[in-house]
Every structure is written in C-alpha cells, then in structure tokens.
A and B are shown apart, each in its own frame.
Chain A
Amino acid sequence: MTNAMELYQMLPKTNCKKCGKTSCMAFAVALMARELTPEDCPPLKEESKYRENYEKLKEIFKPSEGATETGLIVHEDLCFGCGNCVVACPPNVANDPYGVGSGNAPRNVNKLVLTIEDGIVKAQNLEECRRFGKNKILCNGCIVTCPVEAIEFV
C-alpha cells in the first residue's frame, strides 16, 4: 500500500529529533515498521499546519478492522480456500509437517497460523508468524502463493 518515502513526504521534514529518531526519514521507517505511531511526532501532532497530514497518517495507521498483530489481513471476499498459503506457510510446515505441510488436513491446529474454515482462510496463533515481534522476517510465503491476492500485510 505505502512505503517509507511516501510517509516521509507527509512528515514535517525538519529533522527536529523530538521523536527520538535522528531524522524524519528514520521516523518514517519506524512508522512503517510499526515501532512508532504518528502521535510520536510532537510537531505533527501539535502544529495546525500539519493537521491535514496528521489526520491522513492516523487514518493509515489506525488499527484497521481485521488487521491482526502482524498486520495480516484476509480479504474474505476474494479467498476461495485453495489452501496454497496454508501449505506454503513456513511455520505451518514446521509445526505440522505431516498435516498441512504435506497438503493434508491439520493434525495439530495448536500452532498453525493459517487454516481453512468454511472455504476461507483464517489466521490465528500469530505469535508463530514470521512477521511477528521484534525479530521479524518479511516472509511472503502466503502472499506469493495466493492466486487472488486475498492476503495482505498492512
């Protein structure tokens, strides 16, 4: 959807360091990574000339409906339950190699990130997702295997 450069364009670009980062670009990157929120930039929040951009940024980073701890969103209207993502998801394979990892029904759902319910992919156990937490990896196993772009990270 968006990248750090686009976010940077909406910031004050004064490099005032009030947010604790060394530059506005660094702040943009932190925003992108969801380490900081638009509220963490005092000038943006307080000065009226930035209000429009502040509102826009808040809109982008509001905890969106359906978005999960990793930013994973399933577009349920697009998904048709082929299960490609379920079978390709690395933690799914590691946690259930003979079930979903081998293309079959889950043998152990406890640690599965993705499963299919009523023909639509369902995300859970997000602490297992490679995009979770501080040491996250920008894994895209579920995205590149989806024929209809039903999974997105925001």
Chain B
Amino acid sequence: MEKNYYVCTGCGLLCDDIEVESEKNIINKVYTACRVGVAHMKEVRGEAGFRVDNAPVDEATAIREAASILKNAKNPLIFGLGTSTDEAQKLAIELARKTDATLDDTSSFCLGPLVEALLQDKIKTCTLDDVRNKADVIIFWGADPSDSHPRHLSKHSYFPRGSEKQRGWEEERTAIAIDVRKSHTAKICGNYFFQIPPEGDAEFIDALIAALSGKLPKTSYNYPPKKILELANILKGAKFGVIFAGLGLIYSLKDMEPVFRLMKALNEKANFQLVPMVGHYNMRGFNENLYAETGYVNRVKFENGTVKHGPEYSVVESLKAKTVDAALIIGSDPLSSLPRSVSKNLLEIPVISIDPCETLTSKHSKVYINTAISGVESGGSATRMDGIKVSFKPVVETARLSDEATLKKIMEAL
C-alpha cells in the first residue's frame, strides 16, 4: 500500500514520514509527528492580512510600501529566513544585493560557526541516516534534542535499528550527554550523563583530550578524573562516533578552536563526526545558499556589487551600533528572540515583517504581510540539519502568499 507522506517543517529534522487526515483544508489528525510538529501543522489561522501602520490595507499597498521602505533606506537589514524555503532564501539574497543590504540570519548567534566549519571541510560530518545505520557512540553536547528535535533519538540517533545496527540500542549503542543540567535527553543517557559547570566546556574538552592520550585529566572545577578517563575509554572504542553539538557548547566557547582540537584528538584514536543541532527547519539551507553565492554563511553586507563580511554585519552588532536604517524581517521575531537591550533599536526604524503569525515584531512593524506557513500551506525545498536536501508539498491550500511570492512581488515593485 502506497502511503502519502508529508514533510514536517517544525524543526531541523524535517521528518518525511508524516501522515495527515484533512478535510476542506483543515488538518484533523496528524500521525507520527511529535507535539511540536502537530502544533505547527494544525496552527490556527486568523484572517489573512496586510497592514501598514497597523491599519488593514490591500496587497498592492503593502507591497508598494515595503518596496518604498527598502528603496529609501541606505543600509536596510534583511534578517530571518530560517523558516523559509531555499527558493525564498535565494530571492532574499538577490534582494539584498539589489538594495545594498546587510543580510543575516539566526545562525549568526546560533550554530553558524559550526556549519561554516563543515562547509569548509574543517570538521568531519555525516548524515542522520549514517548515524542510524552505523553510530555506536553518540554524544549530545550542550544539546537537548528531546526538547528541541523531539524525534531525534527515535528516528535517527539512538533507538532505531539501522543497516549495521540490527540488535537494538541496549546492545549496540552508547548515548552520552554532556551538559550543565539534567535535561530530558541527559535523563535517557542514565549513567552516561556528565554534568559540568556553566562555561566549563573548554576545560572539559582539554581534560578529555588529555585523557584520550592517557594523561591525567584536570579541571579547575575538580571533575573526577576517573569519570573523564572512563568517558575517554568509551570514545576510544568508537567505530562510528557522533557528536551532536548544541547551543550549550557553542555559547560557552570563545571560538570553535577547542572543538577542532577535540575532533582531531578523537580521530587519532577512533572515528568521529560532528553534526550541529540546527534548530529552524532551513537554517542550514540559508547558510549553504549564501555560502554558494558569496563564500560566507551569514553576516554579509552588499555594496555596489561587492560583498563584505564580518561580525559588524551581524544582526546583533548592526542593530546595536544602529548602522541599519530599515529592516525586512522574514519569518522571525527578533523583538522576542534577541536581547531587548539590542532589539529595542528596531523600534526606531521602519520594519517590514513577513510572517505567517503575529509576533511582537509584526505588531511593531510599519508593514506586516501575513504569509502562508512554509511547509504546511506552501511547498518548496530545504536542507535538513545534516545537509540532506528535502522537497515538500503543501498539506493544505491557502490564499495567502508564500514568502517566496511576497519577496518576488516586492522585488518587482522596486
């Protein structure tokens, strides 16, 4: 029996085995998806709408106003795009080029540095299918997929049978959590939960590297050396090890150098790959699309056909330094997700918000365009957290514009 599966765009896992029962464009039942996926697919929608200065307008007026904001800005910021399709992202890059914009996405303050390292072949990586088929030692480092990517352990990393892992998780896999708190994922790892203090990751990495070469592992927080040596022994025996790196690890490091060192040390003794726990469904896609176009994964500024890159072009620094004079925000809510001490500067410039749902940012925007939910009401393609390309069709129909269609119209109006 051939089944009709949909892709869930609720997180970076892009689960491609979701069955849906729907009637008259309303989704009644969702099978196999997690709770977040179900909420994402069943999201309740109000009326479609376009607003300028908080008053309802027609489509043409909203598009015209958006184009005029971008035209009048010297250095507009284009930000978001983690929940947009590849097609929309490529249009946004083109739009940024046309308007001499600063372009950045959420990877700028998330996992951008690691994705960049993977694209530059500085770190060995693999797909989630490789993990399911081969992985024997799995480390969740500063990551809690049970909460961020709920089906991670069941669909890929720990519980499923794989082509070379036929006997089950108890016998053939070891899952390890390294974290500052006993997360839901750490709980599943049982005795293989290594609790470290906040900002203790770099030292733990060094101690682990020492232990891997048989030296006594030392930390300023006196982590029991015996436990680190035990961990090192497990890692040394890995035939196919994977580190899933999360924000807990990234945020506690000044740069990625300790990660590179650890990967090198691990690969001298065993076989290890690293996969960043990319959250938004197409954040990795944005990094790859921009990289293909400019050689950078994020934080770029277009100027007269040239591309500049650096932390000063990050969403945080450019808002903080007030170097941008307008903002086009696509599928993101920086007034909620950035420190208010930084995002408050958005309130001083004209903002265009393109989003399927009302957010604090949309409520404070000069122009708001309510779009289709990408992956539920509109289709396209995206890149899974491990780099696999996934195409998807809409689950239900809508009269709303997709963000791709919206960007196209703004571009035409320019």
Contact = CB atoms under 8 A, between A and B. Distances in A.
A103 B32 contact: no
B168 A93 contact: yes
A147 interface: yes
A47 interface: no
Nearest to A106: B32
A147 B33 contact: no
Task: Say which size band chain B's interface belongs to.
Answer: 35 or more
A25 B398 CA distance: 66
Contact of B31 (A79, A84, A87, A105): A105
A119 B146 contact: no
Nearest to A85: B154
Contacts of A120: 35
A43 interface: no
Interface in B23-44: 29-39
Nearest to B28: A118
Interface in A3-50: none
Interface stretch (B64-72, B182-190, B292-300): B182-190
A81 B5 CA distance: 18
A80 B32 contact: no
A88 B156 CA distance: 12
B181 interface: no
Contact of A103 (B36, B155, B185): B155
Interface string A60-83: 000000000000000000011111
B132 interface: yes
B411 to A, nearest CB: 38
Given A118-B29, A119-B35, A102 B162 contact: yes
Interface in B168-194: 168-169, 184-185, 187-188
The SS class assigned to the A binding surface is loop
A97 interface: yes
Contacts of A147: 146, 184-185, 187-188
A80 B151 CA distance: 10
Contacts of B36: 80, 119
B41 to A, nearest CB: 10
Given A118-B29, A118-B30, A119-B37, A84 B184 contact: no
B18 A84 contact: no
Nearest to A109: B31
B166 to A, nearest CB: 9
Interface string A101-132: 11111100000000111111000000000000
Contact of B5 (A80, A105, A117): A105
Given A104-B155, A105-B5, 12 more contacts: A79-B35, A84-B154, A102-B132, A102-B160, A102-B162, A105-B3, A105-B31, A106-B32, A115-B31, A115-B32, A117-B31, A147-B188
17 contacts: A82-B150, A82-B154, A83-B32, A84-B159, A87-B159, A93-B168, A101-B161, A103-B151, A103-B159, A115-B31, A116-B33, A116-B34, A117-B30, A118-B38, A147-B146, A147-B184, A147-B187
The 6 closest A-B pairs by CB, nearest first: A103-B160, A119-B35, A105-B17, A147-B184, A119-B38, A83-B154
